[in-house]
Structure 1
Amino acid sequence: MKIQERTGAGNNRSAAPAQPAMGERLPAPPRERKPALAALAVLLILVGALGATMLVLRAGDRIEVIQVTKTIQAGEPVTDNNITSVLVAEDSAIRYVRWEQRETLKTLKAKSPIYKGTVVIGDMFAKKASLPAGKASVGLALKEGQYPANIKPGDVVAAYRASKTSTGSNSDNSSSGGTATGTDTLLVDNARVNTKSSGDDATISTGNISVTVLVDQDDVPALAQAAAAGEVAVVLVPGN
């Protein structure tokens, strides 16, 4: 009888699942895959790699060209004192003058003023500089006392007709850099100095110089006549 009771009690037990033993981990649910995010991550990596590659390629295509460090007036050449080298991205559509071509460039003249900071291209220079419309270049032989001592290419000057008895000083104490006294007639009120030459050693010792100035064509006759007679004195225009 006891054996039946035990058997019956065993048959009436609940079929509930057995609980995991202490210390066992429950199985994790399967992770949800997100292919869109994975594809985006791959795309971003590819874009970054492509950008880095382009930067490397662009850096490898840079060339050394000529840049102006001091303003070059029309008719002037480049010198070692007014140019430097800079790196730019190579572009076949732009006629850059490469740094190794600078010796050839020195034999040419600027067609028009080239300002400080300009990167030089071939079209800016020619074997013979052309003058701006309505302008003419006049040569002046000036004696000591007929010009300011600090006169240089690029300066703006006024030219006066002075008698042969006039005297002056070429010191640069005044704001105009010195003037010749005895001047009487204003010939040109705004002329730009293109070139300046001191000639040979004998000329240097006497203080005589030769300059060319850019003036309006209407001012040429009077200025050329006075220059031929050696009766021209120039002064710097305030504001140079």
Structure 2
Amino acid sequence: MVRTRTHETVKAPALPRQRRPAMFLLVVVFIGLGVLAGQYAYSRLDKRSSVVMVARDVAIGQVIGQDDLTAVRIAADPMVATVPAERLSEMAGRVAAVDLTSGTLLSDGHTTDAMTPGPGQQLVPLALKPGQLPARGLRAGDHVLVAAELTDPGRQAAATATKDIPATVDRVSEADPDGTRVVDLLVGPGVGGLIAREAMRGHIALILTSRGDAP
């Protein structure tokens, strides 16, 4: 018996599929476009700006130090007065025009380059009751007239009290339980003592002529 030898069919190994360069490039382009779209959307939504914030309390009239301020990023309304962070070093060394409280945003109106009282000025503290102040209140920088009552016509010094004396509000304290507020006034030379004496008698009233931020 003759045995025949059958040849087994040998299959060649399958070759790996060739990657399509065009498809790969298209995927890369789509990924890149997605990243760019995300960055654009974030930039449109992130409307925060870097501004100056008070880091430590600074009393009115004190020089502002570098450590008293810091820069923060916030999303603030354009109507809110702020100081850009790039001006932080410019604010250091200026004088606090109002009491600066930690955590509040700094504005140009909060600082001044002048110490008070300046040359030719006197700082007069007046303890005034509600009836001696405008109902809308006073704030630093307001311009007022000091109206004093003539208490003794025989005193020549008191005669000047019949004239309204111009002054500028330097500071206004919080009201006491009875409504009394201490108002620091900047006045010209020679009238501070007269105003203080009349105020102690209760013969003083302040007349608001213009706000400090008025042109």
Greater Rg over alpha carbons, structure: 1
* Interval containing the TM-score (normalised by the shorter chain): 0.3 to 0.5
TM-score (norm 1): 0.40
